Structure 1
Amino acid sequence: MYPSKMCPIWPLHLIILYLLVLCPLWVLCQAAPELLATFSADTLEMHMDDSYYVYVNVTGTDLLAGDQFTVQTQQTHVATAVWNSTYNLTNDHLDKGQFDGKLRVDCHFLGRTDLTVGRRRDGQSSPITNGSLPIVVIRPVRVVDTVFTTSVAVFVSLIFINFGCAMHWPTVKGCLKKPIGPAIGLAGQYLFMPLISFGLGFLIFPDSPALRLGMFFSGVSPAGGASNIWTFILGGNLDLSLAMTSISTLAAFGLMPAWLFSLGQVVFANANIVVPYFRIAMFVIGLFIPLAIGLAMQRFTPRISAFMVRILKGFSTLLLLFIITFAIVTNVYIFELMTWQILVAGMGVPWLGYATGYTVARLFRQPHRDALAISIESGIQNTGIAIFLLRYALPQPEADITTVVPVSIAIMTPGPMICIFIYQRVKACWGCNLSKTDLPNARKSWETTSHPRQRPLSPASSLPLMSNKQEENWSSSS
């Protein structure tokens, strides 16, 4: 049988098959880039204030002498780039069929950006295919950070030894037997604070899940050691504060995971949340060992213990000033990330915690000293644990960028307490001045208004009713 009889479109089918083979090749040729850029690194990860050199190779068919290659970054506050070699295309480049250049990338601040290479011809610029290089700028680990962390740990340990010397164990046992105050503090720490931070996070950062996560992590963290220091300085119930801090820290082993794997998944479902059990355990050990040393000193070396108690208030004040000043100096970069939303978040979490804790304590008829301790315990969070959680949950540099939220909370936390401390000092000084100026007038007024028939006290009548020895015998017999 002849081929013409087998195929009705013979010999046109040969032409159709030929076109079907050529069309994909033609499409691929049209889609092929005229210029292609290749960098010496796929991704550039650098530290702040560092510079790095990158080599770029441009190949393609559309190369003409006189072409200029441009370079720029999308986020200039994160990083900038300049040519460290010629960027004009010469005949030598045309002979080689490619352009080789060298770039210097200068990193300025935390963040991510893209470096792009383009071509300018006759005053018009056009991007180059694959001419983009991702840049990640992170913060280096500095010696000053290690020094700060170590010094704070040492000083806080000394403070807690002093707390152990000043601790009245019968009062602590009384608080635990009638745990109204610790129960209010625990509810404020692990019920009100997580809900406050969760709600404020969605209200202040509706479009930033990472910042919401930083805020929520701060809200679910246990109480910080600074709560005991501020309670002592402001005249709160130190024994109750120490008891609440201990209970709050132990409860963190169960309540932190409960919040992180419930509302935490709602805040940021893609976060790889790892609960830092080891860090919490180390915090518990670092809390109880100095307290035990202080209690032992109170029992076996009472004179040294009394001296430690006398210097406690001044030493606590100096420690707080040191922590605040050193933290600001070592984390100056954080202030470049500050916005009004972050400032409001930093104020909202602890300040609402203070107000809620004090209000609930007074509603349950707690005395002022206990209510003050409960308020401080509710408002102060261990932001160090929040920062630690962020470093596990987020990659760099997002971990350092979102750290601004717990750092802002830590900076804004002492505000109300500093105001209360200043008010107490001014009130005390004002009261001393009034007592000195009003004492002569008060004595004169009492003498003129006393009963005319009242005789002045005789020396005999001013003697005590019984001697010290008799008083001791009476008190022992009673």
Structure 2
Amino acid sequence: MDISCKIILLHHMLITLSLSRAVSGMSMGDPMVPLDMINASGILSVKGPPPHGVVMVFMEEDRAPQYFNYTVQCDDETLKYVMRAKADDANLVNVETNDVIIDCRNRLLVLMPLVSLTNGSVVGPSYSVGDKLQKQKEHYVVQGTHTLYTNSDLLGRTFITFNLYSYNDLELQHNITGDMVDVTKVPVIILRLMRPIDTAFRVIIYVFMIFITLAFGAKLDLEVVKENIKRPLAPCIGLGCQFVIMPMLGYAIAKLVTADRPDVALGIFVAACCPGGGASNIYSFLLGGDLSLSITMTALSTIMALGMMPMWLYTLGQQFIDSTIQVPFLNIFTTLLILIVPLFVGVFLHQKLPKVTKVIVKVIRPVTVVCIVFLLTVGIYSNLYIFKLFKPKIVLAGCLLPYFGYLLGGLIALIFRLPWQRVKTVAIETGMQNTGIAMILMMYAFPPPDGYIAAVAPIASAVMTPLPLFLITVPYLIYKRCNKEKYDSVPNENGSTKKNENGSIKQKKTKSKKGSKETTLDVENGKTTVI
């Protein structure tokens, strides 16, 4: 495999893992807090931990104590209650607690806030404010503090429900309660703290990503890009599939598969609007596609995404966005620039500073080996929890988006009668996208943990995208290996053959003569040019 392809593959791995790392590590903004607790009749009132009254559970914390202040109205001192707490989703958060016995004989008299009266008699302390008569309501209550312990290993959001039952000694002994008197729910948010190993991984992976992107730019040949732009049919078909067909396909999948989860639906739609991914280049090379067309489409789609992504979010994207979500268009633009600038710097070094380029190319191989080992060890260990968030609907949507992209891109290329080599390239470029941009967008658009959960949809798409190509590539390469003479050698007029440095055939033969000039065909990597 050529070193350029190794760079492309590593670049794709770096973006996917580094952005999934950001899903766990970013702690920007405050969690979304419900406006009030959920209470049935008002007899029982429970306030969660300060400052918002929301229970904050951090993953991998063992038996974290949570303190609750409760108030029970006891107008009748003969009453007795039992309060029990449990998590609405026991699979998301584990709650350890004991029953609380509440005896109204221990009640206290409290004065509630002033209440305006429009008519009727006044009982208890009263005050006259202007023309309105106000009074303080008297209540007997039992107040106390209850401690329970929580732990979780999944990101998410749920409630802890406090049920208030009438007390019965005999039924309580058999773990059976009397009639339910009241219920109160307190919201729970599960987040994840950054560990030292996570911080180290994040810093190192960003440095590697910038270097690899720079190296890829240093290896990019602008003449190849110019040659494809001069023949614009195939690039235009590919870009049309990426920025017209894929967003509409993503919209349909989001509406049909994940309509019950607007955050996940938005993640799928944004993933469909992303430009082409770097791994499409290596699969185009391995499957006998037009590598030069693939590189051209990837570069052009990344630049076009600066305008196309905001356009789709302003149009169809509004179907998934409500008033609580602010789409960070500036962050989208900044993210795309981060992916583009190192590439342009590498191209500049290739053109103006060839000595520096040689040094960069020389160290690519050892850096690549070290980085791949690092990703396969520390990277996988740090991101194992992400796979626990995969739900069947999310996996289904993550499969449908790229797989239908492959089929539709190839079908449209066939309709326009492109050569088979370019049909494969357009199909691969259409289905394989840079979903890392969608991951970052989700994390900025939603408060934690909702943004992290929404980002799992693009991550699922990134994981599922290369699976069919990998299953096709392995037997294809075995077939090529078994028919090496057919693919590695093509006889020329003299009966000899010539290979280029990538193992492809470079053959020149006379086509025709026009005046005193000789026209020849240069066949390299399936590309035909006139010399």
| Same-fold call, TM cutoff 0.5 | yes
8 Å contact from structure 1 (residues 160, 291) kept in 2: no
Residue 91 of structure 2: aligned partner = 77
Runs of at least 5 residues in structure 2 that lack an aligned partner in the other structure = 1-39, 110-140, 172-176, 488-494, 496-516, 519-531
Aligned letter for 1:76?
A
Map residues 313-392 of structure 1 onto 2, 5 A cutoff. 315=368, 328-392=380-444
Q: Distance in 2 between matches of 1:375 and 1:226?
A: 13
Matched, 1:88 2:101: yes
Q: Residue 100 of structure 2: SS of its match in structure 1?
A: coil
Distance 1:54 1:430, change over 3 A: same
Equivalent position to 2:223, from 157, 161, 170: 170
Match of residue 195 from structure 1: 248
Contact 2:217 2:342 in 1 (8 A): no
1:100 is aligned to 144
* Residue 281 (structure 1) aligned to one of 317, 334, 337: 337
Question: Which residue number in structure 1 is paired with residue 158 of structure 2?
Answer: 113
Kindly state the Cα deviation for residue 258 of structure 1 after the two structures are TM-superposed.
0.9
Higher strand share: 2
Deviation (angstroms), 1:233: 4.5
1:115-147 C-alpha deviation (Å, 9 max, x unpaired):
232244013345565743221222334455544
- Secondary structure at 1:113 match in 2: strand
How far does residue 301 in structure 1 lie from its aligned partner after superposition?
A: 6.8
- d(CA) in 1 for partners of 2:103, 2:257: 55
C-alpha contact 2:216 2:343 (8 A) present in aligned 1: no
Q: SS where residue 397 of structure 2 aligns? A: helix
Q: Matches of 1:401 and 1:284 in 2, distance apart?
A: 27
Q: Does the 8 A contact of 2:56 with 2:188 survive in 1? A: yes
Aligned CA distance change for structure 1 residues 373 and 147 (closer, same or farther; 3 Å): farther
Q: Taking every aligned residue pair, what percent have the same amino acid on both sides? A: 27
Output the amino acid matched with 1:58: T
1:314-357 deviation line (CA, Å, top 9, x unaligned): 959x9778757766543333333323322221111112222222
Task: Return the alpha-carbon distance in structure 2 between the equivalents of residues 278 and 67 of structure 1.
Answer: 58
**How many angstroms does 1:34 deviate by?**
5.0
Q: CA deviation at 1:195?
A: 0.9
2:65 alignment partner, one of 52, 56, 59? 52
Q: Quick check: 2:406–2:428 contact (8 Å CA) kept in 1?
A: yes
What residue is the counterpart of 1:471 in the other structure? Answer: none
8 Å contact kept, 1:47–1:137: yes
Matches within 5 A, 1:46-445: 46-50=57-61, 51-61=64-74, 62=76, 67-83=81-97, 87-89=100-102, 93=106, 98-108=142-152, 109-117=154-162, 118-122=164-168, 123=171, 124-125=177-178, 131-270=184-323, 271-275=325-329, 276-296=332-352, 299-300=354-355, 315=368, 328-431=380-483
Take 1:95 and 1:164, find their aligned partners in 2: how far apart are those partners?
Answer: 75
Name the SS for the 1:403 alignment partner. helix
Offset at residue 220 of structure 1 (A): 0.7
Deviates more, 1:378-387 or 1:31-40: 31-40
For the residues of structure 1 that align with 2:221 and 2:413, how far apart are their CA atoms? 22
Offset of 1:389 from its aligned partner? 1.5
Residue type at the aligned position of 2:303: L
Which of 396-405 and 73-82 deviates more? 73-82
Report the secondary structure of 1:88's partner residue. strand
Aligned-partner residue type, residue 44 of structure 1: V
Distance 2:195 2:363 in 1: 34
Normalized per residue, the structure richer in helix is 1
CA RMSD, 1 decimal: 3.7
CA shift at 1:199, angstroms? 0.9
TM-score (norm. length: structure 2):
0.66
Amino acid at match of 2:341: I
Distance 1:306 1:333, change over 3 A: closer
Q: What is the alpha-carbon distance in structure 1 between the residues aligned to residue 57 and residue 257 of structure 2?
A: 31
CA distance in 2, matches of 1:362, 1:319: 39
Normalised to the residue count of structure 1, the TM-score between the two structures is: 0.72
d(CA) in 1 for partners of 2:89, 2:178? 19
Separation in 2 of the partners of 1:364 and 1:152? 41
Classify the secondary structure of the residue corresponding to 1:45: strand
The change in CA–CA distance for 1:306 and 1:268 in structure 2 (over 3 A counts) is closer
Shift of 1:361: 2.9
Provide the C-alpha distance between the structure 2 equivalents of 1:65 and 1:254, rounded to a whole number of angstroms: 67
Cα-to-partner distance string for 1:273-305 (whole Å, 9 max, x where unaligned): 2222211222221332234334556x4478668
The C-alpha deviation readout for 1:11-38, integer Å capped at 9, x for no partner, is: xxxxxxxxxxxxxxxxxxxx99555444
Supply the distance in 1 between the matched residues of 2:340 and 2:254 (Cα, whole angstroms): 29
Structure 1, unmatched stretches of 5+, are: 1-30, 436-461, 463-476
Match for residue 7 of structure 2? none
Task: Map Cα deviations across residues 344-389 of structure 1 (whole Å, 9 max, x no partner).
Answer: 2111111222222233334434344433333322222221211122
- Answer yes or no: is the 8 Å Cα contact 2:77–2:104 preserved in 1: no
Compute the displacement of 1:202 (Å): 1.4
Asked which structure has the greater RCO (Cα within 8 Å, sep 6+), the reply is: 2
| Partner of residue 125, structure 2 | none
Q: Distance in 2 between matches of 1:194 and 1:418?
A: 24
Q: Go from structure 1 to structure 2 and tell me whether the alpha carbon gap of 1:131 and 1:166 turns closer, same or farther (over 3 Å shift).
A: closer
- The number of residue pairs the alignment matches comes to 403
- 1:85-118, Cα deviation, whole Å (9 max, x unpaired): x833469945896342332241413222222322
